Amino acid sequence: MKKHLLFALLLPAFLSSCNSNQESGSDTQEAPVQTGSYQGEFFGEAFDLTDLISVDELIPQMAGADSLAVQLTGTVSEVCQMKGCWMNIQPENEDHDAIMVRFKDYGFFVPKDIAGRQILMKGYAFKEVTPLEELRHYAEDAGKSAEEIAAITESKEEIKFLASGVFLLEE
């Protein structure tokens, strides 16, 4: 019950945060870096680019867990077009839903034009039921049409990811 109350109190603040004109966090890019065989840019916390698993490898591991601390690799399918404050990572297996990625403490953003790019990220994967209103909000932020937004009619249990750091690979 406490979890539902906390969620109800925090949802309005979260939903308005993407649309806020106030700048929180940092959306500035660091200079390109080379780490081992990877070249690209860090956003958020820098981390060791080892022990990576793919999003497709994560999904079966989440079947028996509520949350996992992992380092993932994947392809960005969508980015919040308001500020770059979230992104979706699409598994190669199209039968699986995309994984919503948000950023720890709303402390950094990613560029809004990185759909199709490869990323590496460190953080926590977890399961969560996303309420209908929040799903529609994300669809709006992603630039979906009114018809696509109206087609969202129910809440959804999803695997999500809270990233403390993202490494965007060079194209």
Closest by CA to 110, choosing from 40, 36, 13, is 40
What is the pTM for the complete model shown?
A: 0.76
Q: Which pLDDT value is given to residue 31?
A: 53
Please say whether the beta carbons of 168 and 112 come within 8 A: no
Helix crossing, 132-141 with 2-17: angle to 10°?
Answer: 20
Calculate what percentage of the chain has a pLDDT beyond 70. 79
Q: Which pLDDT value is given to residue 143?
A: 86
Residue numbers in the chain where pLDDT is lower than 50: 1-16, 21-29
Q: Which pLDDT value is given to residue 8?
A: 40
Domains and CATH numbers, the chain: 39-169 (2.40.50.140)
